[in-house]
Amino acid sequence: MTTGQVDVKHIAKLPSVKSWRSTALAKRLVFKLFNQLRHGELVIQDGDTTHRFGGGDVSIAPSATVVIHEQRAYSRILTGGTMGAAEAYIDGDWSTEQLTDVTRVFSANIPILEAMKHKQNWFIKAGVKLAHAARKNSVSGSRENIAAHYDLGNEFFSLFLDPSLMYSSAVYPKGSDNLAEASQHKLKLICEDLELKPTDHLVEIGTGWGGMAIYAAENYGCKVTTTTISKEQLDYARAEVERRGLQDKVTLLFEDYRNLSGQFDKLVSIEMIEAVGHEYFDTYFGRVSSLLKPDGKAVIQAITINEQRYEDYRKSVDFIKRYIFPGGCLPSLNIISGALTRTTDMQIIDLRDIAIDYAKTLKHWHEAFMAELDAVKSLGFDEKFIRMWRFYLSYCEGGFRERIIGTYQITMAKPYYRPL
């Protein structure tokens, strides 16, 4: 995952709307909405009273219990929609021991999610959209978005990522539940899909902490040129390359992908496309194509959104866009295919669905994060940040488990590519 983040220590609350001051009315309207649940079950514990909604097929979605701590949670959900619900959780207005299951229940009931979104007060919605629009991924804007996220620090991310600091979906070998092993297996699959060999020169868009570049150089003997716009990641990757004595194999650049030049045998980009933005998908794929030789090959790992929801999604702002990845936009498979058709001479030759692997990856990140709470706090992060980060991890895991978002490893090739 790569892109930027707003100031997480001072989360701005969505403004309340005076017309919804009546808690009783807000509660009734929220419960009316929840009565439409068809899959799974939502249990609301409010003081001494328990309310149950849904109760449908739990093989589709689970049962989850929410505890209300502040009555304002209802009006925040009513006027803020899913964003209001997220902020109410971050502020401690409600809690749950089953955060991922709560997100799964709503992900499995898309009409409820859509209704909650449309309930959002128009003034709030307009303000959020304007803020998001200001975070466009121009060359300068992309660098600002990236810097905000990774200013959280390498030490923070090292608390919950695997030892190679892969901030992207792992791919679990059959029978394995080990994150570190799965992260290395993901890299192995990508290199095999690329048919890497020692004489290749591989270019990477989005260095991360250098895991892919180092793996390819060490295990396949090829040269790698990799670029990032995160100074934090660049410094870490450079130190790691030097520590491993790979300076003659790996070239690290601090450069926007749009400014890259030259032609390479192979190209890889792991979960960087999500930071590109809707307006720049054609530019991104045009650059991918121009960087490859006529017989070149590329693998792009991408988080995607369902085609049926793409247009509505790209025009709206959800929790992730507002608080975690400003300027971000998940493509759909059709959007990717369309951009390839318009701007390149490439074709997709293979597709690997790894959505469930991402759900497992996020579960492991979340468990590791919770096991390191004392260390997180020692870095200066408060309870509000911790709840925000937990919501982020659970929100994404639930989305992958219910398949409203997906992840694919997409292999594409230039016209003169021929299999080995």
* Same-domain status, 268 and 384: yes
* Same-domain status, 215 and 288: yes
CB 272 within 8 A of CB 239: no
Domain boundary among 60, 93, 120: 120
Domain boundary among 67, 88, 120: 120
Domain boundary among 120, 154, 189: 120
* Same-domain status, 76 and 196: no
Asked if residue 10 belongs to a domain, the reply is no
- SS3 of residue 169 by DSSP: coil
* Same-domain status, 220 and 327: yes
* Same-domain status, 253 and 187: yes
Asked if residue 127 belongs to a domain, the reply is no
Residue 396 annotated as catalytic: yes
Q: Where are the beta strands (DSSP E) in 3-88?
A: 41-46, 49-54, 63-68
In angstroms, how far is the first alpha carbon of the chain from the final one? 31
* Same-domain status, 89 and 208: no
Asked if residue 7 belongs to a domain, the reply is no
CATH number for the domain spanning 81: value is 3.30.1050
Asked if residue 78 belongs to a domain, the reply is yes
- pTM here is 0.89
Among the listed residues 191, 222, 329, 396, the single catalytic one is 396
* Same-domain status, 110 and 182: no
Three-state SS for 309-351 is HHHHHHCCCCHHHHHHCCCCCCCCHHHHHHHHHHHCCCEEEEE
Asked if residue 311 belongs to a domain, the reply is yes
* List of residues 6+ apart from 19 with CB closer than 8 A: none
DSSP readout, 199-250?
A: T-EEEEE--TTSHHHHHHHHHH--EEEEEES-HHHHHHHHHHHHHTT-TTTE
* Same-domain status, 102 and 158: no
CB 100 within 8 A of CB 363: yes
Asked if residue 257 belongs to a domain, the reply is yes
Gap between the Cα atoms of 233 and 236, Å rounded:
5
* Same-domain status, 52 and 195: no
CATH number for the domain spanning 311: value is 3.40.50.150
* Same-domain status, 105 and 157: no
Tokens of residue 147, six digits: 């810097």
* Same-domain status, 177 and 106: no
Asked if residue 420 belongs to a domain, the reply is no
Q: How many CB atoms lie within 10 A of CB 79?
A: 21
Instruction: Please report, in tens digits, the pLDDT of each residue of the chain (420 residues total).
Output: 644 444 544 444 544 445 445 789 999 999 999 999 999 999 999 999 999 999 877 778 899 999 999 999 999 999 888 899 999 999 999 999 999 999 999 999 988 878 776 655 544 454 445 555 555 666 655 666 665 565 789 999 999 999 999 999 999 999 999 999 999 999 999 999 999 999 999 999 999 999 999 999 999 999 999 999 999 999 999 999 999 999 999 999 999 999 999 999 999 999 999 999 999 999 999 999 999 999 999 999 999 999 999 999 999 989 999 999 888 999 999 999 999 999 999 999 999 999 999 999 999 999 999 999 999 999 999 999 999 999 999 999 999 999 999 999 999 999 999 998
| Host domain of residue 247 | 139-413
* Same-domain status, 146 and 111: no
Asked if residue 81 belongs to a domain, the reply is yes
State how many domains the chain has. Answer: 2
CB 321 within 8 A of CB 386: no
Q: Which residue has the tokens 């971050």?
A: 90
